[in-house]
Amino acid sequence: MMKGSVLMYQVAIVALLALACSLAFAFDPSPLQDFCIAVDKYDSAVFVNGKFCKDPKDVKAEDFFFQGRLNIARDTSGKQGSNVTAVTVEQFPGLNTLGISLARIDFAPYGQNPPHTHPRATEVLFVLKGTLYVGFVTSNQADGKNLLFTKVLNAGDVFVFPIGLVHFQLNIGKSNAIAFAGLSSQNPGVITIADAVFGSEPPINPDVLTKAFQVDKNLVEYLQKLF
């Protein structure tokens, strides 16, 4: 019972951190009404902030509730050894126009959330369990360099990734790790760098990547086949 109470307390802290992140760094346009529950049916609805809104007269308490079972560990047997459970406006319509979303990230030992970026959101990460090596890379500086900022996080630690910058998390522990992320957008988007560069459809011309990475063309074509 005590362990369950501690977990719920920590999850509540994450929710508060996410709210603070939303208020301070929100990228989404400010809402013009109290709420706008997203709906797919267009009759008697208003199009606001990318989604149609349910008629306020039809809104119920359930519209502000999401039973996502974020207390349950996800499968981390994939190639990256991690699993992201996102709670954006697509999963939780009540987030529409509120400029906030949430994610749970499960890590296998030495698993990683590979380099990626959220084009529309700042991310604040809270480590619930384990030890993570995290970092982000700045945009091109005046001297042409990209600065890397890294930190080792333990349970209870928090780290922030500025909007749009490439960042990552790596579990450097011998046991599973869990983290929660609050993001300052209802739909932060995600661009996984390797997938985008080597796995786009249609593929990027190998000549472009060969010159960009200054490697042999055969290596580029091999990587494109992998993705």
CB 193 within 8 A of CB 131: no
Instruction: Show the tokens assigned to 51.
Output: 């989604």
Residue whose structure tokens are 């007269």:
57
Q: How many whole angstroms separate alpha carbon 99 and alpha carbon 31?
A: 9
Strand order in the sheet with 51-53: 38-39, 51-53, 46-48
- For residue 40, give the H/E element and its range: none
What is the rounded CA–CA span in Å between residue 150 and residue 54?
43
Binding residues for oxalate: 113, 118, 123
Rounded Cα distance, 27 and 84, in Å: 22
Annotated binding residues: 113, 116, 118, 123, 167
Q: Which residues contact 77 (CB under 8 A, 6 or more apart)?
A: 108
Annotated binding residues for Mn(2+), as ranges?
116, 118, 123, 167
